Structure 1
Amino acid sequence: MFSLPKNFSFARSLGFLVFAASWLAFAFFLGRLIPDRQLWFALLITLLFGMPMYGAAMYAVTIQRIHRASQFMKLGILHWLFTRRILAYAGWLLWSVVFSFLLLFYLGSADKQEWIVCFAAIPAFGIVYAILFPIAAREYKPYIAVHKSLVWTRWVTALAMAVFFVFFADHTDTNRQYASLTEAVAAESQKLEGVTNSILILETNRLLGFIEGMKRYALGGLHSFDDLLYVAVIFLGSVLFFYNVALGISSFMVPLAEYRRVFAPVQDSDEPPAVSPWAWAITSAFATFFVFFIYVPSTVYVDTWLRSNPETVAEIRAARQSAVQTVEMIGDEYYKPGTAAQIEQAYLDSLSKMEASLGKLRETTGTGFQQMADNVDAYLDWYYSLPGEYERIVALATGALETWMAEKLQNYLMQGNVFGPVQKSIEDVLQNNQQLRTEHMQKVERILAENRVEPAGDSQLEIVRHASLNSLKEPPAHSVIVNLENRVLISGGIGTAGAITGAIAGKITAKVAGKGIIKLGAQALIKVTAGKAVSALGGAAAGAASGAALGSFIPGIGTAIGAAIGGIIGGITIGLTVEKLLLMLEEAFSREEFKLQILNAIEEERIEFEKFLNTPALSDKTSGSTDAAAAP
């Protein structure tokens, strides 16, 4: 590894490639697991992943201190000050841990193209080192030549890979092209979400989401030369990223024996000095103390502190988006986030109040149908009475028996305006509905006015939701109330006495007529009427004989008059008696069945009407779709 290209060692080169690739593969396979694991897992793999970076950094610090020490003629304060390694070791230790932690997150979420570029840094580093080492070896001591070559190679590799990644890699993925920085940050952050319980890991994910979003936004507009400041930041960040990757890679280029200089006193010698047992003991003690008393406790403390101080987390997030203004776009105007949700909640509240107003209507409905059922007996009492019988005969004579019987049933069901309370409840519901709609419209206007946003000229807008203004302003509508006035039940118009009663009674009568009960009754009446006529004739004959016998006391005309009067009286008496007996017989055989048919019709209408009153409210209100679109 220290020889010129003519003494090129294939085994060492292969070892370098294998170890360097394994180091990156370690990050690839384990880094992607961190967002879904607990903090101990992240601490363990960070420590393991950061060791090559820290080893390379300690070796570089040691060689620098040896080079400085060789410049002094004698020992003194300046020699002590400039050749101490403890502060540099501590600084690089902190840097290695922090950057390894971030690097694992980043590499674990990197896409295929980024991984190709990262792995390409390994052969690129080897080629650059093979070119620069012979140049350094001509004038420097062997171990100084290694150090100088590694330093130069890190920077050349970092710059070359950063230029290639930013300016020559393909960044035209249409799925990752964003119109604004905020949109890019929001989209990329979603890809880094995890299910861990560690606040530190979650916040690191969000930080990397912000960095990744800025990178994607800047690289997406690279060819238009827009937002060059972002491009410059991404380029510098890429240099830093690839420098640390090269730092870790370079640790595998240093021969293992050279690392003995890290643990030995500072001295200028071509061969690394042996490490004393005392040095190993001190190193082990410091490593143990650092891992168990500094590294793990401090990280756990930071995670706990973040968990117990949510306001600090909020400030961190706000600082990342200091130039971003989050808004909702309703119609053509901008509003504070949550405005649409407030309006939707107001809509649901109004709808809930409408639903509550229907409770009284549902209560009175049951009572109304029960009273209507109670009126059935009064109708049947009339139906099986002599007046009812002769009223039907008159209707039969006019040819409107079925219509007249249906109207009579409806009139009896309407007795007492049984649905008067229902009528009043409906009027109250409709009046309350109109009042709620008016109040809702006023509340919507107030919410919009209080939450309207005038964007600053230099701010960038993150539109977290688009919504239709007309849809949000639409007043609440309950399906029962919307259809109530259009139902047959209120065709008579609100305010007309008995309108609902008549409508429902009419529908019940129609159900009874539909079952053929009224029609069959009319046909039976026609048949029975003939029998009644025969009975009436017999009664008239008997009455005439009786009247003639009584009139015989008056000679001549008395017999004739008596017969006539007796016939009339006898016909009426016998006819009424026969009529009553026939009605009683008909009632005994058919009343309960007729009543059951009417009650069934009332029950069917009650079920239908209550089902209508229990129709779900029209609450599927679509006001807009949530997205992460952003406007400049």
Structure 2
Amino acid sequence: MIHIESAGTIFRKLMGCFWVTYLAKALLLVGALFLFAKMAPSLPPLAVGLFWALLSAAASLGFAYQVVVRKTYKQCALEEGGRLFRLNNGRAFWLIAGFIVSAICAMGIIFEAPKWDGAEWLMVLFSVPLYAGVFAVTKKALKGEMKRPFLTARLIAWSCGAVGVLLCALFAVLVFMQPAATFESADAAFLAAEQPFSQSPSVLLSEAGKLTALIDGLTTYGVAKTAEVSFPGYVIARLIIAASALFGVAGLLGFCSLKGSELKRVFLPLENLGEKDVHRSIVRRYVVLAAALPLCLTALFAAADFKAAEVSQMGEFTMAEKVVRDQVGIAAYLIDGKYYDQLAVEELVGEMKGRSEELFGKLESEVVPLVNASFDARLTNVDSYLDWYYSLPADYERLGNLITGSVESYASEQFKAKIEEGIDDSQISGKLEELSGQAEALKTEFETRLADCELSDAPTWLLTAQEMSPTDLFSGPLGPTEKLLEAPERFGVSAAAGMAGGILSKKLVEKVLKKEFFGKIVGRMSSALATRAAGGAAGAAAGSVVPGIGTIAGLAAGTAIGVGADYGMLKLDEAQNRETYKQEIIDAIEEQRAEVLASLQDDK
């Protein structure tokens, strides 16, 4: 008959197997650590303190076990009943000291575990079977080499050390496969450091997280600088920093490999080698002490967190924030309610100012020569205008047009047509449009790059802010550029107009209209009409009194007289006033040139 064992029997047998027990405890430990790492930033202070206490207790018992085994070895050399014998048999001091050291190491793991990525968690998980393999190899190597009371302790110590070294080697491989981080400053490294506890309900944990981030940031910055000099040195530096956590994981696995009978030795009197079947009772005060230490740590953490919460409400900054500000405080500009890195903004402003001035220099080097050439051409046309003006056909053309039009408007149109003859200012408008487009692109780039300087991820308590208005920010570096953007408008250039000549000639005519000589020209043209009318009437009268000539002949004679009189008056006016008119036209052109150049070469 086949005997089928119950599930409970099978379970007890499995749990009696050393490796099954080890794997169960190790995987439970890794799983608890993983869950805590994911939940720690949102856990209440009491839960964090309790987990810290349990992790510290586990690590301290492993440490205490090694101390007890070492005391057992020393016991052989001491005389029973002596003072040193009694001191050696005690362990309260080592339980307390071991717990304190373990609490410090456990806190390091608590702060580091939430920052581990997938590769690091896989490495921690891989360490579970790795430890089992190393333990088995070490046990085989030490078989028959050591006495039973010392064998397990030596196996655990050597296995933990070997696993720690192997984990460090594996970590070094991971570092070699990743590019080295680079930071421009220590504050940039601090901001890049992960701060999983920044929003933790535990004020104490949040404060400690800020200080940890400061240490991480400064360390990372130093390591990054090392990478610039020597990449192997960078790997070694990263390895030294990670070694404590890696050996801590190995130590916890060592605790998981302890059998209950071996762990019990921490609370038993020291055994004498050679004694057999001697019953030794558990020393209760050690059990009470071992149980009281994690409870005290939990209570102490809760009390400290409560006190930290009270203190944080008393000032503008907490103690941790003051320390961090002193070390890596960031100078910032406050612009329209947003914070910007002051150094980055000043560097950007300096660059934009240089490029803006360079672009403004193109206005002086490329547009000013075109403007000068345009006005020089107008100066050349002055003599042509006066030659035309003092010609008899032009005089009759004016008289013919003035009968139906305004004297002033016709005179200005004549002046504009002759002075602007052969002048094309389209190059000026094209160049202005081109430079204006470049100025607009520079302004857009400035705004885009300014947005990149925003300290959106930096906590406000870390910033030393100086308020600045957008007008002050843009007026400095983009002052010359703003003038370029206004230049086409000042010249009347637009997509519809497409030319600068229209506005130049218009302003020039307006200036000429105010000159004294123009008033004389208009006056002469008006008097010429009266002279012509009087000459015609006189000829007609003469035709009616002189027999045989008639009225028509009299009109012709009057016209001839008028032509002669006009020509004579025209030449007389030219002899008396041409040079004066010429100089006044030249002065008007030069005044207009000066105004245009002043608008282009205004102070930056």
TM-score after normalising by structure 2: 0.48
